Chains A and B, each alone.
Chain A
Amino acid sequence: MKSRSCSVEVTTKSIPGLSDSKGNNIKKMFISDHNIKIHNVKIIHRYDIISNLNSEKIEKTVYDLFCDPIIEHGIANLHILNSDKIFPLQPDLHIHIGFKPGVTDNAGKAALDGLRTIYPELNNSSEVFTSKIYLFWGIPDDVNIDEIADKLYNPMIEHAITTKKEDCLIKRWGILRAPIKTTQPFKSIKTINLNVNDNELIKISEKGLLALNLKEMKTIQLQYKDEEVQRRRIELGLPSDMPTDVELECLAQTWSEHCSHKIFAANIHHVDNETGEDTTINSLFKTHIVTPTLDIQKDVDWLLSIFHDNSGVIAWNEQWSLCIKAETHNSPSALDPFGGAMTGIVGVNRDILGTGLGSKPIANTDVFCFGPPDYKGQIPTGLFHPLRVLRGVHSGVRTGGNESGIPTVNGAIIFDDRYIGKPLVYCGTVGIMPRILKDGRESHIKTPSVGDIIYMVGGRVGSDGIHGATFSSLELTEESPSSAVQIGDPITQKKMIDMVLEARDSGLIQVITDNGAGGLSSSVGELAELTNGAFLDLANVPLKHPGLSPWEILVSESQERMTIGIKEQDCKEFEKLALLHEVEATIVGEFTDTGSFEVNFGNKTVANLPMKFLHDGCPQLELESEWEVPTHKPIQFPSNNPENMGNILLRLMARPNVASKESWVRSYDHEVQGQSVIKPFCGINHDAPGDAAVIAPLQGQTQGAVISNGIVPRYSDIDTYAMAAASIDEALRNAVCVGVDLDLIAGLDNFCWPDPVESMKTPDGRYKLAQLVRANRALDDVCRAYQLPCISGKDSMKNDATINGTKISVPPTLLFSLIGNHKDVRKAVSSDFKTIGDIIYLVGETHQELGASELAFMLHDETNGKSGIGGQVPQIDATRNLALYRSLTNSMSNGLVASAHDCSDAGLAAAMTECCFGCDSGAVLEISSLFNHNKNLDIWGALFGESLGRILVSVKPQDSQLFEESMINHECNKIGKVTSNDMIIFNNRDKIILSANMKELREAWKGTLNGGNN
């Protein structure tokens, strides 16, 4: 039957007491982000429907499906704007924005599903495309109309058409045509001639976005000269001495930095000009990450699965295990903040689903690094203002997490100028699974056998997300491809999660992994290692649109897909389950033991790659590393009279890094799944910042899990060893603040580095690699000392952007995430002071450590760089810290601690302020004991220094003696009391050194990022 084209347009009714929130949101955004005050904005939602339904049938559905009969107007096949009743006044500006062809349109997909509910006869080729029409009234005269649309759409994924006032008056609206994707002609496989010179090899890699270096290209060249290989290829009917495009692409994906972590696996020649050390490190990963964990594994019995699966697994109790993973999605988030970030969060959810035989995601964490929200400088072409990146990324993670029903329990937002080139978007997920399935198998071990059937489950494959893995292994340029951007579809994924977990519990799943970077080439390619081979038929893979060539199907990173191995006898039941959940599950291959990854397209063999070459063939990088102590100007301190110190505290509280992010955090669901014990906010007004999250995942039971994060990229400017040590300590300190069980803690390392490979483009590569070496050594030392094994991790090594000839590199950044046990959540402690009169203690040693502190950066920014950030960066004494943490958590389980708060960014003064927010109180402090303990300390260091291992604690007066006894072997300074007045007053030997008003502090802290006040 012929397809018909219809449209439906919907807009909000004007009813007294009903505001047009969608329009108002746009108005608010124009004021806050661009200082443009528009009188009124309204939005029309448009649906273009291509289907076998006639227009009469579509008209009947307007008020059943497309619009709400109570609050919306809807109309079929006409422009709603032409109705004078609904729009008596023509707009001054009309902008129609819709997706480009092929971009994921989740609302369109939902509308199609809704149409099928009403008309089951709807045919399979039907499509619904959604778009939005923005109507503006009262735009100030000095605003350039042409720039309005730019602020609303992303040309990477959307089209826009603007109709100005004169055309609006005569109702000549510019309407986009539905973005029907033209069928691309099918391209059959090609062979690539590698019998060429080195220059040509490099050109092949660059032109094909393969991201393979010369040595790797030559290794591939050599492979195809091997006589044994050639003989075998002739038997298979493959070109004997050159790879097919399918093979070369598959190798490029598997060998990409993104998938194979070549820099962490490299052989590094490391020179330290400070100490004279000259040494070789064979793989940072093996030396400093795997080995310490294996050593710790000898002493504990709860490390179930480390490093080799999609996430690390620990035994949480006899019945249940927990797993955790964090991912970054930096490059896609730079290009399309919303889509990039959403695929980041739903992607890492799939890592959890793909762990062992399938794990249930129960908590998300998100940590973002952006340019400053108030950035006034030039924004390079092709990039967005940091505030727009923040909005988009936040919205993407919110949509992905909330719609998936996974609470976002913990996170952070960090700001620094150097994240303008590439924002960092870290998305983490925690999962839970029963340790033993009903059929007796241990859930953390995959059990594939030769002959098991390979299914692709979930979404279909499209041209979106081709070359994501190799693209993220390159730096960002103006020519970065739009096909590397995808938009997630959380509902398709949620249906798949529901279905997969049921399949797991029914014992159907033998092996499972997700399709992320590298698509099927990675997922099937990697699982094939377990049986030593796999066969894949690309012709069976369901496509979003026809015409994809075999290599595109193999490497496409289209979202929401799992690869699952099922025993032949279980296939029927598995497919039945898929049908019930309306999840697509398609047989695409089977596991073999042929020693090869064999790929067909129908009857034709299109790739045959020996497993050994695919996975072990990539040559090791040889890299140079050279450490040089950087020099920085010292801090120039202003006057330190008490009022000025109060004002400095006020300015620190307003710094974006310190300021309240409440309104951003509140729009994440942090309580779904009914397990949230310590939430992101606490205190009498629910607005004081918490430290770690505590969840009680088993309904009604009191054993808990603690989730925390540590990240301090500032310190990298002085020393990445200190940076990494501080990140780990921060994560652990946060966990200690809520009372973590220190005998069951595990970590995740997540490195985001600028390119550390010396080259023409990166002349300082040796230094950047030395920074990586030092960070890894800190990870090794500190994790061993804390008995805190890393169980999984990730690295992203090309966080540079070259735009208009200028290179912007992110500061070397390590996110350390922690998961730990909590023995009894009823004993968990929150950060807010509890009662007026409670005694305040600072536990842990305070040193004169202001180098690269938040204070140093603030003074640097305020003096345009006259004041430096130099000085002593916080040093770690992990053994001392751990002993203190043990005593403190013991006191907590004995109920002696009323509150505990991490003392970090902006030091003791800032931590004190935050604790007071939670109690609507003030505090009077006497900190002379700090100076008694450390003769080098001055009041700047005491108030704003960021020494590690310190926690601000409050205790009920009647518990103070017992508390002090419990901390007898540690530095424990009794420094003051919670007071009912509105002031924070710090004294030194009875002399006031800082005085500040709580109301003003609260306003400063909440003012910067709209914290709590939208």
Chain B
Amino acid sequence: MKPKVAVLSGFGINCETETIAVFEMAGAIVEKVHINKLVNGSANLENYHIMAIPGGFSFGDHLGSGRLMGNRLRFGMREQVREFVKSGKLVIGICNGFQVLVKMGLLPGDEEVSLNQSASLTINDSGQYENRWVNLEFNPDSNCIWTKNLTRIRVPVRHGEGKFVTSEKKLLDEWDKSGQLVVRYVDPSTTYPSAKDNILPYPLSPNQSWRNIAGVCDPSGLVFGLMPHPEANHSTWLGATWTREGMEHGEGEGMKIFRNAVNYVIENFDK
């Protein structure tokens, strides 16, 4: 079977092209679905295995990145989203999509999918939007479906509001314990695994995110979000320093994430 992916679009989402491409390269059937189609009933999430919220500038980041788009989902299609997650299907939010998932309370989330916000993504300490390449390290102990067997990858960040924070520091310990702190910025000169809680200097950590957090998953490991753009490194020639590396050309370092999801669907839904 071919897993079906809904890549959401509209209102300033702008990474749908490459997000569609990576799922197609990973072997899925992908549809671009305008959010209003889900709200007005002409499309329904139940027809898909994976929902992806791509990066972008939904509603211009006004009133805080992801806030207004999160509200469209939280108020406009609340039960549809909850049903989707509860039925064991997969969700990914990248960059602005991650901001949406955090602001609507789906990430880091809870077992009940209660959609209460518990963390936030705020302005980078540099005070500005930045596009630069970073090194990511994945938590080997996480149950996140999307990041299985990943160690480190290089991908770009492209955001102004990517600093992961929360109101109660003890929540960080809980998420750490449950393996929800899936992916962190890392110093590439160290050996794997070495992600630390102490905040790395800029620009190794581009935004001074708490505990170097670049992305988190929900308790089930099915819902995953991250600030960096793995879909932007789907082919080797999109890398930052590929002209220095004399490599064999082919699939980029970001593709594994999408393959994991597509394979998971094939293994679990092909009945």
- A-side interface residues toward B, CB under 8 Å? 15, 17-19, 21-22, 24-25, 28, 64-72, 106-107, 109-111, 113-114, 117-118, 398, 402-406, 490-491, 494-495, 498, 580-582, 663, 666-679, 682-684, 686, 696, 699-700, 702, 825-826, 828-830, 832, 834, 1014
B118 CB contacts on chain A under 8 angstroms: 70
Inter-subunit contact A491/B63 (CB<8 Å): no
The smallest beta-carbon distance between B237 and chain A, in angstroms, is 5
Inter-chain pairs besides A66-B63, A494-B14, 18 sampled, C-beta below 8 Å: A17-B210, A67-B64, A68-B120, A70-B119, A71-B120, A111-B63, A113-B68, A117-B71, A490-B12, A491-B11, A581-B36, A663-B128, A666-B130, A669-B131, A671-B131, A674-B21, A674-B231, A686-B240
Inter-subunit contact B167/A402 (CB<8 Å): no
Chain A CB within 8 A of B129 CB = yes
Q: Which A residue sits closest to B95, measured CB to CB? A: A672
The smallest beta-carbon distance between B17 and chain A, in angstroms, is 6
Chain A CB within 8 A of B193 CB = no
- Of residues A18, A25, A832, which shows the largest number of chain B Cβ atoms within 10 Å of its Cβ? A18
Known A-B contacts A21-B124, A70-B120; A403 and B72 likewise in contact (beta carbons under 8 Å): no
Inter-subunit contact A405/B76 (CB<8 Å): no
The smallest beta-carbon distance between A42 and chain B, in angstroms, is 13
The smallest beta-carbon distance between B56 and chain A, in angstroms, is 6
Inter-subunit contact B158/A829 (CB<8 Å): no
Inter-subunit contact B62/A679 (CB<8 Å): no
Inter-subunit contact B235/A672 (CB<8 Å): no
Instruction: In the A-B complex, list the 4 residue pairs whose CB atoms are closest, starting with the nearest.
Output: A405-B14, A674-B18, A699-B21, A110-B62
B244 CB contacts on chain A under 8 angstroms: 683-684, 830, 832, 834
- Alpha-carbon distance A118/B61, docked complex (angstroms): 18
6 A-B residue pairs with Cβ-Cβ distance under 8 Å, sorted by A, are A65-B71, A71-B120, A118-B71, A580-B34, A671-B232, A700-B21
- Of residues B11, B13, B210, B249, which shows the largest number of chain A Cβ atoms within 10 Å of its Cβ? B11
Q: Which B residue sits closest to A828, measured CB to CB? A: B243
Q: How many A-B residue pairs have CB under 8 A?
A: 202
B87 CB contacts on chain A under 8 angstroms: none
The smallest beta-carbon distance between A234 and chain B, in angstroms, is 51
B225 CB contacts on chain A under 8 angstroms: none
Inter-subunit contact B243/A495 (CB<8 Å): no
A686 CB contacts on chain B under 8 angstroms: 132-133, 240-241
- Alpha-carbon distance A562/B250, docked complex (angstroms): 41
The smallest beta-carbon distance between B41 and chain A, in angstroms, is 12
The smallest beta-carbon distance between B118 and chain A, in angstroms, is 7
* Candidates B20, B55, B68; contact of A672 at CB < 8 Å: B55
Inter-subunit contact A28/B127 (CB<8 Å): yes
A677 CB contacts on chain B under 8 angstroms: 237-238
Chain A CB within 8 A of B9 CB = yes
Chain A CB within 8 A of B178 CB = no
- Alpha-carbon distance A398/B103, docked complex (angstroms): 24
Q: Which A residue sits closest to B158, measured CB to CB? A: A669
Interface of B is mostly: mixed
- Alpha-carbon distance A634/B163, docked complex (angstroms): 55
Chain A CB within 8 A of B234 CB = yes
What 1/0 flags go to B207-240 for Cβ under 8 Å of A? 0001000000000000000000101101101101
Known A-B contacts A110-B68, A674-B18, A686-B241; A71 and B122 likewise in contact (beta carbons under 8 Å): yes
Q: Which B residue sits closest to A108, measured CB to CB? A: B62
A25 CB contacts on chain B under 8 angstroms: 127-128
Known A-B contacts A114-B68, A699-B21; A666 and B131 likewise in contact (beta carbons under 8 Å): yes
* Candidates B18, B63, B71, B125; contact of A107 at CB < 8 Å: B63
B103 CB contacts on chain A under 8 angstroms: 68
What 1/0 flags go to B1-45 for Cβ under 8 Å of A? 000000001111111011011000100000000101100100000
The smallest beta-carbon distance between A253 and chain B, in angstroms, is 30
B18 CB contacts on chain A under 8 angstroms: 673-675, 699
- Alpha-carbon distance A68/B167, docked complex (angstroms): 11
- Alpha-carbon distance A415/B6, docked complex (angstroms): 48
Chain A CB within 8 A of B201 CB = no
Inter-subunit contact A404/B14 (CB<8 Å): yes
The smallest beta-carbon distance between A315 and chain B, in angstroms, is 22
- Alpha-carbon distance A675/B249, docked complex (angstroms): 15
Known A-B contacts A398-B129, A670-B131; A117 and B14 likewise in contact (beta carbons under 8 Å): no
Inter-subunit contact A403/B165 (CB<8 Å): no
Q: Which residues 150-169 of B have a CB within 8 angstroms of A?
A: 156, 158, 163, 165-167
The smallest beta-carbon distance between B79 and chain A, in angstroms, is 16
- Alpha-carbon distance A383/B240, docked complex (angstroms): 40
Q: Which B residue sits closest to A738, measured CB to CB? A: B243
- Alpha-carbon distance A71/B161, docked complex (angstroms): 12
B167 CB contacts on chain A under 8 angstroms: 15, 69-71
The smallest beta-carbon distance between B111 and chain A, in angstroms, is 20
Known A-B contacts A68-B64, A107-B63, A700-B235; A498 and B10 likewise in contact (beta carbons under 8 Å): yes
Known A-B contacts A22-B123, A65-B67, A491-B12; A684 and B131 likewise in contact (beta carbons under 8 Å): no
Known A-B contacts A70-B118, A107-B62, A582-B36; A403 and B12 likewise in contact (beta carbons under 8 Å): yes
Inter-subunit contact A18/B165 (CB<8 Å): yes
The smallest beta-carbon distance between B92 and chain A, in angstroms, is 15
Inter-subunit contact B158/A581 (CB<8 Å): no
A21 CB contacts on chain B under 8 angstroms: 122-127
Chain A CB within 8 A of B75 CB = yes
Inter-subunit contact A68/B129 (CB<8 Å): no
The smallest beta-carbon distance between A732 and chain B, in angstroms, is 21
Inter-subunit contact B120/A672 (CB<8 Å): no
Chain A CB within 8 A of B57 CB = yes
A406 CB contacts on chain B under 8 angstroms: 14
